[in-house]
Structure 1
Amino acid sequence: MADSPASPSPQRSLRQEDKRGFLQRLAEFLHPGPDSKDELIETLAEAEDNDVINAESRVMLEGVIRIAEMSAGDVMVAAPRMDVLDIDAPYDELLHLVIDTAHSRFPVFEGERENIIGILLAKDLLKLQRAPELNIRALLRPATFVPESKGLNDLLREFRGNRNHLAIVIDEFGKVAGLITIEDVLEEIVGEIEDEFDVAEDEGDIFALADRTWRVSGDTPIERINESFGLQLPEEDFETIGGLVAHNMGHVPKRGEEYQMEDLRLVVLHTKGGAVKWFKVMQSPEDVD
C-alpha cells in the first residue's frame, strides 16, 4: 500500500502561521488603519483625492461619522423659532400661518406655547375646509417627546420606524427646548435638502454645522459669502472665495492651513486639482459670545 502523503510538520505549520502573522503586522505597520474619527475623515479625503469616491460620497460619509456623536439638542430648532399653532385660533389664521411657513407638520399648543397637545399635518386642514363642523382636536396626531441628549443615530432609527417625522425636544427640566425633524437629521449627512420653497443657488454650498461653524465650498461666489456672513469683500477681482483666499495667501493652501478674513477664520478641509474644495469657517474667539 502506498504511503499517504506526509502531513506538514507542526514546526513548519507554525512557521507558516508566524510568517503570515508577521506579514500582516508589517502591512498594518506600513499602512495603519485610522484609529480616530479625525483620521478616518482624513482617510476619506485621501480616497477622494485618489478618485476612489466622489466629493458627494465623502461629504455623506463624513456626515454619517459625525452624527454618531451628535444629539437632538445639537441640531434642533430652538423653541423661540418654532412655528406652532394655537388650538383656539380661527381657521383662517391657522391657514394663513400654514401657507406662510410652508411646513408639513406643526406642533399645536393650548394656552401657553409650552403646552404642546399634539401635531397637526397641514394637509389635514383641508378636512376642516370640507367639513367645518369637525373639531380640530380630532385631527391632531400624538406628539413625540425626546430629551436633548437623544442620540441622532437612535432618533433617525425611530423616525424611520414610524410615520411621525417630527419630535418635540425637552430639556433637563422637562420644558420644551425645541423641535427636530427627520429632515434636520438627514441634512447633517447629505447637506441642506432643498424643496420647492427653498431659494435655489447657482453654485457653491454653505452648510451650517451643529458646532456653530460652517462648511463652505471653495467655489462659493464672493457675493454669496458677503450676503451670508455680512462681509464686504471686493467682488470685482475674484468670483469665488477659494480664488480670493489662494491669491491673498500667494499659493493654493493645503489641508489644515488657516486664513483670517475680517472676523472669520477659514481652515482648509480639502483641496483637489489645484483648488480648495472645502473650508471650515468659524468666528474668531473674540467674536463668539
Structure 2
Amino acid sequence: MHKKKGFITQFLNNIFSEEPENKKELLYFINKFNKNQLITKNTYKIIKEIINIETKKVKDIMIPRTKMITLNINDTFNKCVKIIIQSSYSRFPIISYDKNHVKGFLIANDLFKFIHHTHKKFLLTKIIKKPIIIPDSQCLNRTLKEFYLHKNFMSIVIDEFGIINGLITVTDILQNIFKKIK
C-alpha cells in the first residue's frame, strides 16, 4: 500500500528541486522565496522564527519572578476571584510563603466550580495542579513539546541553583513566534 504524502511534504517537494541539506540552506531558500515574493513577509518572518526556535532559551522570554502574579495557598475564594479578575489571566502559580515556594498551579476554571457550592469549605490545596519545573537554559522547542506531551501550559522556571527565576506559558512562546507579524 502506497502511503499518501502530507500537504507539507508535497508543498516542500514542489518548491525544492533538491532538499536542503541543513538549516542554513533551508533559510537561504526561504529568504529567496521572500525576495521573489513567493511568500509574504509575514510568512517569511514566522517560518524563520519557527526554524530558529531551537536556538532560543526559556530565560530569553520567560516572565521574571518579580512580575509573576501569584495566589497564596491560604487565600480565600473571594480574594482569588478578585486577583483573577484584575489580572485577566487564566493560570496562576500558588505559593506558600513567597515566590520561592510554589506549591502548584490554579486554572481559573477550576476555581469557578465553587461558585455554586458555597456550602463547601474552599481550599486551594484541593484544586491545584502539580507544578511543572524546567531549567531556564532549556530550549523553547523542547518546552513546547513538554507542554504538548503533559497537556500543561505553564511551567515554573528555575536557574542552575534551583532558585525560581520566573514562569513561562505556551502563550509566551507563541507570542514570541508571531510577534513580528505586521
RMSD of the alignment, in Å? 2.2
- 2:59–2:136 contact (8 Å) kept in structure 1: yes
Equivalence for 1:163: 151
Structure 2 CA distance for aligned equivalents of residues 156 and 46 of structure 1 = 28
Give a deviation string over 1:64-117, Cα, whole Å, max 9, x none: 122111111111001101111111122222111101111111000011221000
- 1:67–1:188 contact (8 Å) kept in structure 2: no
Equivalence for 2:55: 69
Amino acid at match of 2:106: L
* The one of 90, 95, 115 aligned to 1:129: 115
Q: Which has the higher strand share?
A: 1
- 1:128–1:136 contact (8 Å) kept in structure 2: no
Alignment of 1:77-156 (within 5 A): 77-132=63-118, 133-156=121-144
Q: TM-score, normalised by structure 2?
A: 0.80
Structure 1 CA distance for aligned equivalents of residues 98 and 124 of structure 2 = 18
Structure 2 CA distance for aligned equivalents of residues 110 and 165 of structure 1 = 21
- 1:148–1:170 contact (8 Å) kept in structure 2: yes
Deviation at 1:147, TM superposition (A): 0.4
Structure 2 counterpart SS, 1:129: coil
Q: Percent identical across equivalent pairs?
A: 28
Q: Which has the higher helix share?
A: 2
| Higher RCO (CA < 8 A, seq sep 6+) | 2
- 1:145–1:167 contact (8 Å) kept in structure 2: yes
Structure 2 counterpart SS, 1:68: helix
Equivalence for 2:42: 56
Q: Does 1:189 align with 2:168?
A: no
Aligned length: 162
For structure 1, the 5+ residue unaligned runs are 1-32, 192-206, 208-215, 218-289
* The one of 29, 32, 39 aligned to 1:46: 32
Structure 2 CA distance for aligned equivalents of residues 190 and 103 of structure 1 = 20
Regions of 4+ moved over 6 Å: 33-36
For structure 2, the 5+ residue unaligned runs are 1-19
